[in-house]
Structure formats: structure tokens, C-alpha cells
Structure 1
Amino acid sequence: MSSPYLAMPIPISERISIRIGDKRRKIRINEMNVKRIGLLTSGGDSPGMNAAIRGVYKTCAAHDIECYGIRRGYQGLIENEIFKMEAMDVKQIIQLGGTILLSARSKDFFDYEGRKRAYQNLSEHDFDALVTIGGDGTFTGAMKFEKEFGVPTIGIPGTIDNDIFGTDNTIGYDTALNTVMEAVDKIRDTATSHQRLFFVEVMGRDAGFIALNSGIASGAIEILIPETKYNMEEFFSNIEKGAIKGKISNIVIVAEGEKNTNIYDLAELTKKRFPSYETRISILGHMQRGGSPTCADRVLASRLGVAAIDGLLEESFNRKDIEVVGINDLIDPDYMVYMLKYDSTHGRFKGEVSFDENHLIVNGRKIRVTNKKDPNELLWGELAVDIVMEATGLFLTKETAQGHINAGAKRVLMTDGPSSKDWRGGRAGMSNIIPSATGAAKAVALVIPELNGKITGMAFRVPTLDVSVVDLTVRLTKSTSYDEIKACIKKASENEMKGIVAYTEDDVVSSDMLGMRETCIFDAKAGIMLNPNFVKLVAWYDNEIGYSNKLLDLVEVWG
């Protein structure tokens, strides 16, 4: 069975097959799945890494997630240099260069046995996920580690080279640019005084971002980077043109990875071509990795630290034991891509989605797409399907749903389908408040028989894109106070009902509930109490994402 992974949020308008991965530990649906993470910095250090560490830790603390630091990167993970981080560890570090977690390049991590030891240590600490801060090598190692051992991993791009694919800026890049620019400005002072030509080497073994942008900012006459070949005659011509225009000093910025020649040979060739020129070489070296991070890097690192934990809490990481393997719908895959990619309510899909003739491809994972009307023809057995989520509303009896079992599925989870019984429901939703029937009260009575005959309800459709509100009016046999009721609900939301019930005392409105996954969010300020035995309670829920997640909770329990 493939590694457990939820490849996409569940669109409840479609019939979806789900395979349940092997469970390492029992997950209760009222618990947050991400409880403990490991955090490391690897490869070269860069200014702002400490700000990212601080952002990760503080976001973990806000979500009651334990954050463990791993010293010396992947090598420290192999050698079990792991400790639980406390608030004092990140106090007053945002302005510091370097990394408090230390960094190292690990040869052992290149070997499978080294990565296996790292995974064993990670498992012993019961980590739910790993956050890595570093450059291209760090990301490559993280991808391999995740693929081999199924460890959910988030990478935070921290490198002065700015060479991570898909990023505009990496942590430390802005600080390095400013370090180079300030150094070149000082070099120009002495170059002008002595009428010299300075060759300044900056970091950038495979990428010339530092050389290019610092060269532009400091007015260099030539900028040599690994990505571009240059002609020596053109280079000499530009130097000569500068002299003709009256330039008495010049700066040439050279990236250390410049492929044509090294900086010493370049200076020597220039000296031979212009014997009257005084040439000097300055290697800026590792000073570019140091120093207090700029405002831009501190803000970027803090935002990425927060986003890393938010990413781990996204559904694709929370549902570690669920993998979507098939979708059966009568629409074409290209239209599925469109519907998943764009949503007027919840925004654009945060991932990559594409299709081929027979698959929807989400974040690199293929999901088989079929368009059969008869469940008996779906061949779920070929996909080793554990549970089919029947969401068409057409096969809601044991007899009709049996087709999925005949096709190879082990179980069928039925959800409700569209209803055409209510004529008023067909009226314009954006210009009317529409009274509507609801089966919620009847469903509650079925689940809690003690409430049968004691509870009823109705609904109003209002012109909002998403989110519903429950207005529960209750007559109590036992006298109480509103504060006691609030305290009871708050306690439950933090304990046995965590993940199902949430509690807020903020001045919220419906749009604030978009994306909430709990069954209800109790609004403490919205309720009122007439007397000790008569109270009105108000709670919100996202009727799209919240409902979809409760289906997945059921899949986890059932699976």
C-alpha cells in the first residue's frame, strides 16, 4: 500500500474512492494531528534564520504544538542532538545573524543508512512532521527523506544565493546584497583615491543573483555571473570605454562560480591588456553570510516561519492516513482541474493541479478519473479501495450502493444528494431570505434518542457564499447562568470535544468562519439568557469545509 497522503480536499459533489494507509498510532478525531515537530537548519547559514526559528516556535506555541530543535542539521538528526525548545530559546534572537540551532553539511545523510538512523531518531521522539530551513541541498535532502519514510516535511528557503526554484526571495538574500553593496561602496572610496580597477568576488557558485543585483546597486562597470558566457574582447572594450569617458576607478563584480575563468586569471589578463592600470582583488567571502538581518529578511523569515506551521496544519498534511485514489464523475478531467484550481469562496488551490487522459494530477500524485453511470463498472478493486464516498445522491440504499462493493470496494460512505422537494429553494438566492426545511433536528434525535420529541428546527437561506449559523433556543429544567454555560462549552472545546467544537469571544461575523473545520464554533458574545432556565446559544460552521472534514473524520474512524 502506498504511503498515506491526502492528495486533495474532498469536493462533495463528486463520487470519490479513498484508500486508508497503515496507521502508526491511533488518531482520535477530537485531537489535532500535528502535536510535535522537529526543526533544523542545514547547509550554509544565512542572516534571518533565527527570525524563522522564532516564527516557527511562536506559531507552534499558539497551536499547542511541541517544537523540538535539532542541532547541526541532518547530522544532528542522525546523532540524536534533539532538545525540546522553550520560550527562552527564541528570546531576543530576531536581530541575530547565524543560527542558534547550528548548521552542518552531513555526508552521512547522503547514504540510506544515515537517513534511516535519522528516521529512527525522529520516530523515537514521535515527531508528526519536520521543518527544515536551508538552501537547495537542504531541500533535496528533505524531499528524498520524505519520499523514503513518509515524513511530512515543510522547507523554509534560507540561503543568501536566492537559488531555490519557485521563490522570489530567500531568507538572507537581502542582507547579503546590502553587505556586498556596503563593502563595494567602501572599496570604491579607496579605488577612486588610488585610481584603481578592483575585481570584487562575491558568493554564488551556481547562481549569480548576488553578483547581478549588488553590481547594479553599486554601479559596477562589469558583472560576471555563472549563467552567462562573456567575450573577453567585449569585456576589455567596456573597460576602455570607461577610461575614455573619464572614469578614474572601476568596479568589476565577479560571482565565485563564474565559469569562464577565475578572478585571479581575469585580473592578470586585464593587467596585461592595460599595463598602466593598477588592479586589485577583493574576496568578500563568508562575511556575506553574517551580520544582523535587514528588516526585509526579518519580516520574510517571520512570515515564512508562521506559514510553515500553517502549511503543516493544512488538510494535505493533517490527513496522513487517507489517500484519494479515484474519482468517478461525468465531467471531464480538464473541468475538474478548473473547479479545483479556482473557488470563488475559498480562493485558489494552494498547490499544483493538472490532468492527463485518465488522471487528475494533484501535487504530483495521480488520481484515476472515470465517468461510469453504473457503480458495478468502476473496478475499485484495481485501486485497493477501502472506502467509497458516495456523494451523487443517487445510490443511497443498501441495494443500490452494493454496486460499489461488487466493483471491489470494502465499504461505502453515503452522503446526502441534491433535493428538489422545496419549490422555494429554487428562487433567487442572492436577493431573498428563503425559509427552508432542515433535517438537522431529526438527525440529532436519531443520534441522541433522549432528545426525540424535544427538539425541532427550521432554516433560512440567506445571500452569503458560505458559512451557516445555528440559533439554538433552549428551556432548561435546571437553573444555571450564561457564564456557567460558556465555561462548560469552553472546557469541552479544549478537551474531549477539541476539533469538533471551538470557542470564541471575539466579535466575529460569518466570513470569519471560512475555512474552519470544526462542527461548530460557539460564539460566546452572540448568545443571550432571558432567565436562569431560558437561553439562546449561537454557533457558526463552514457548511462546505466543515462538512467535508467531518466526512474525513468518519473515514478515519471507520478505516
Structure 2
Amino acid sequence: MNRSETFIYLLSKKPWTDYEWEKQTGITRATFGNNRKNSGQNVKAKTLEVMSKVCGFKLVHVNAKDGINPNDENASFELEENKFKKIRIGLFGFGRIGRNIFRIGYNDPRFEFVAISDLGDVEAMHYLLMRDSIHGAMNDDIALKGKDLIYGNSSTRLLPGAAPGSIPWDAFDIDVVIDSTGAYRTREELQKHMDSGAKRVLVSKPPINDIDRIVIQGINQNEIQAEDKIISTTSSTTQVLALMMKILDDNFGIERAMMTTVHAYTSDQPLADAVRSDLRRSRSAVENIIPNETWAPDYVAQLMPQFEGKISGIAMNVPVANGSCIDLTTEMTKMPTIEDVNQSFQKSSTSDLAGLVRYTEDPIVSSDAIGGGETMLFDSKATMIASEKLLKTVAWFDNGWGFASRILELAESYTQLERA
């Protein structure tokens, strides 16, 4: 098949909208829209490779040995069906992050969601999965039959929620438990998943004490070991801040930094004023801009010791349901121009951090980040320099979707390492 034929065939395998393709692949919906218009005549081989992967195929460039470039008109391809053992996943917690993880991965041939544990009743779990106020209704039909979600030839058992250790993960032959409750952050608590038969635990919050590893893709994913059993993926804010700091430091050097994350409200904030131990967070989430603490600087400094004592920050929770940003102010070793800064992020988005960093020159706002599969969306129009002393950069992010994608990618990385 040529590029156009391959593109059309892959589209037929997953009847998604361009928005769904973007969420599943990290490739922009505009790219899919443009390629649809000309039936894939100008589609890039890299796009076909990513599409093939999510459809369960390996893209083979059959005439590469003849010196034909994969993006040439005469390039020819075959699709080989991937035959691999699926990663058996148990979800512990089915809130926003848990549901995003399921939506991203349930139709992916690499993953099998065996069981989900949550405090909610099964009807509510199914209802909130199918009808999301931010990401919309699901296109595919997923039925609830008794205590099972049924979709295609697959099923997922829904289990009552409780504390770690209450679910016999070994009875379900689980490869990895993803704890997305946000409630359990110590080794002692998370170890109970292991004691109940989980082979590995990924937790979607930064830990309180020592665990086996903290991982941020683009920063230290190459350091993971098969012996790691309890791993934190930090938080969406921490991941964005780490990537911004890395790009700026690698290119120009950072002396010190101050960050503000302007963050969508979260599910633990009240809609109306209500008693909370944190007085500021006792105020209405939809009526106020609320100053809040953030863990992000501390964990970035932990993973990147060169920033120890050089970075601090604050969070401001604002009355939007999704779409957040980091406003980062840095004092540089060498002050670049605005053009140099933007070029450094643009280069990273197409090289070593492709798929994690997206770059735009559009005049975007917070809702434009919703549904993005990348970790961060760099806003080149917001880059500023003050008195040749301070640099300001801004990056947007969906505070659930891209983060959920990174969790699944990390689960796959550990499984590949173990099966190698």
C-alpha cells in the first residue's frame, strides 16, 4: 500500500473523530483534518507509524532497501499485526484520572483493564465513564451487565472500593495496579497492593516518603529498573514544570526560578463555602481565585538536583473545569532573545521531547489545551523578557488527559523492560 492507502485503511480500523485521534496519538486534529481532505496524499510516514501502533500494527516500509524515502510518493508499506501479551491493569480509583486512563487505553491493543475498584456504585461508575462533562460522551458503546463493563470482546470487573490490601489482585493476575485515588502516598500504604498480589504499583501523586522511583517522561525515564515496584508519576503540574526547566536550562542555563500554576479547580474543592482545615480551600471553587500550595518545585528539585534551593512557586486555583498553565519566571545564566527561547521549545517539540511538548504560535486560551495528549503546550506568544534580567515563559496543559497518557506509557515501559 502507498501512504494514502495506508492512511485510509488505518482510519477504517478506528472510526474516531479527529479529536479522538488527537487524544489517542498526540498528533493534532488539524493534521488529521488536512490529511482527510486529500485522502492522505501528503500524510507523513511518522503519522502512519503512530496510527499503526494504536491500531495494533507495526508499519513496515517495504521498499526502504531500494533507497526510497518513507515520505516519497513511491514509498510502499505493509502492516504487520502486533502479537504481544497485553498488559493486565487494575485501576484503584475511578475518578477523573482513572476514567481518563480507561478512556485512553480500553481500545488500545497493548492494554487490558481487568478490574476497577472504586467507592462509587457500579451504575454511577458506568454513567460517569460514558458521559464526561469535559471530554464529552464516549463514541463506543460500553454496556454495564451486573458488575462488568462489556465492550467488544472484552470485559472489566467493577469492584467495591476500600483501602489498599482489600482487593486480591493475584486472583485477577494483575501486572500493574494504578492507584489514582490520590489518597495513598506512603510506601507502607502502597505496599499493601503488592502484598495483595500486584506485581507493580504506579501512583498518580507524589509520595510522602521513599518509594522505589519517581519518574517523569522526558527527564529520567531512561533510569527505570525492572526491580522498581512502587513508582510515582508525580503530577501534571510537576511534569510540565520539569520539562520547561529542562529545556531552558539545557539551552541557556537557569540561575533561579519562580513559578505560578494557574490551575483549574479540583474535585476536592467545594462549590459553595464549606468548612475545611485549609481555610482558603474552604471557599467556593467557582466563585474565587484561590491561592494554594504546590508540590511541583520540591519534586522537580528532587529529580533535578541542580535546582535545589533555586526554585519555588505557588498555585492559583481558578474557576474553570479544565485547562491549566504554568507561568514561569527565570533568571538566566545567559539571557537569550525571545526568538531563541521560542526556537528552543519548537526544536524540542520535534526532537527529543516529541510527543511530550507541543509548540504553537496561535493565540490560544485555556480551553485549547483540553484533550491534548502531550504533557505541555508551549505558548510562544506569551514569552517575555524584562530589562534583560528576567524571562517569562508560559505552557498550557490538560490537567488530566496528557497526565493519564504518561501513566499508561510508563506502565508499558516497565512491562517491556521486564519482558526483554
- Distance in 2 of aligned mates of 1:500 and 1:436: 26
Q: Which one of 274, 289, 293 corresponds to residue 433 of structure 1?
A: 289
* Identical columns (%): 31
Match in the other structure for 1:57: 40
Deviations 1:87-113 (A, max 9, x none): 868xxxxxxxxxxx9xxxxxxxxxxxx
Deviation at 1:370, TM superposition (A): 1.1
Deviations 1:392-441 (A, max 9, x none): 23432222222211221101112239696532123112211111111111
* Correspondence 1:403 to 2:403: no
* Correspondence 1:458 to 2:314: yes
Secondary structure of 1:355's partner? strand
Matches within 5 A, 1:1-400: 37=6, 39=8, 55-58=38-41, 60-61=43-44, 64-65=47-48, 122-123=79-80, 315-316=104-105, 319-400=108-189
Deviation at 1:58, TM superposition (A): 4.9
Secondary structure of 1:442's partner? helix
- Distance in 2 of aligned mates of 1:67 and 1:512: 23
Report the structure, 1 or 2, having the larger strand content. 2
Match in the other structure for 2:344: 488
Match in the other structure for 1:14: none
Deviations 1:450-474 (A, max 9, x none): 1011011111111111011110001
Deviation at 1:67, TM superposition (A): 11
Deviation at 1:55, TM superposition (A): 4.2
Secondary structure of 1:351's partner? coil
The 8 Å contact of residues 342 and 383 in structure 2, kept in 1 or not, is answered as: no
What amino acid is aligned across from residue 428 of structure 1 in structure 2?
Answer: S
Match in the other structure for 1:73: none
The 8 Å contact of residues 39 and 67 in structure 1, kept in 2 or not, is answered as: no
Match in the other structure for 1:7: none
Deviation at 1:504, TM superposition (A): 0.4
The 8 Å contact of residues 7 and 43 in structure 2, kept in 1 or not, is answered as: no
- Distance in 1 of aligned mates of 2:389 and 2:41: 42
The 8 Å contact of residues 333 and 360 in structure 1, kept in 2 or not, is answered as: no
What amino acid is aligned across from residue 537 of structure 1 in structure 2?
Answer: T
* Correspondence 1:476 to 2:265: no
TM-score (norm: length of structure 1): 0.47
In structure 2, do the counterparts of structure 1 residues 63 and 516 end up closer, same or farther at CA, with 3 Å as the change threshold? farther
- Distance in 2 of aligned mates of 1:521 and 1:52: 22
In structure 2, do the counterparts of structure 1 residues 67 and 460 end up closer, same or farther at CA, with 3 Å as the change threshold? closer
Match in the other structure for 1:16: none
In structure 2, do the counterparts of structure 1 residues 62 and 338 end up closer, same or farther at CA, with 3 Å as the change threshold? farther
Secondary structure of 1:496's partner? coil
Deviation at 1:531, TM superposition (A): 3.7
Secondary structure of 2:410's partner? helix
The 8 Å contact of residues 351 and 363 in structure 1, kept in 2 or not, is answered as: no
In structure 2, do the counterparts of structure 1 residues 318 and 475 end up closer, same or farther at CA, with 3 Å as the change threshold? farther
Secondary structure of 1:376's partner? coil
Pick 1 or 2: higher relative contact order, CA cutoff 8 A, min separation 6. 1
- Distance in 2 of aligned mates of 1:86 and 1:454: 45
- Distance in 1 of aligned mates of 2:304 and 2:341: 20
- Distance in 1 of aligned mates of 2:392 and 2:71: 42
The 8 Å contact of residues 7 and 39 in structure 2, kept in 1 or not, is answered as: no
Match in the other structure for 1:412: 201
Deviation at 1:481, TM superposition (A): 0.9
- Distance in 2 of aligned mates of 1:81 and 1:520: 36
CA RMSD of aligned residues (A): 3.8
The 8 Å contact of residues 371 and 401 in structure 2, kept in 1 or not, is answered as: yes
- Distance in 1 of aligned mates of 2:116 and 2:107: 21
- Distance in 1 of aligned mates of 2:104 and 2:49: 19
- Distance in 2 of aligned mates of 1:452 and 1:462: 29
> What stretches of structure 2 of length at least 5 have no aligned partner?
11-33, 52-61, 85-102, 207-267, 270-275, 416-420
> What stretches of structure 1 of length at least 5 have no aligned partner?
1-35, 42-50, 69-79, 90-100, 102-119, 129-148, 151-313
- Distance in 2 of aligned mates of 1:349 and 1:552: 19
Max Rg structure: 1
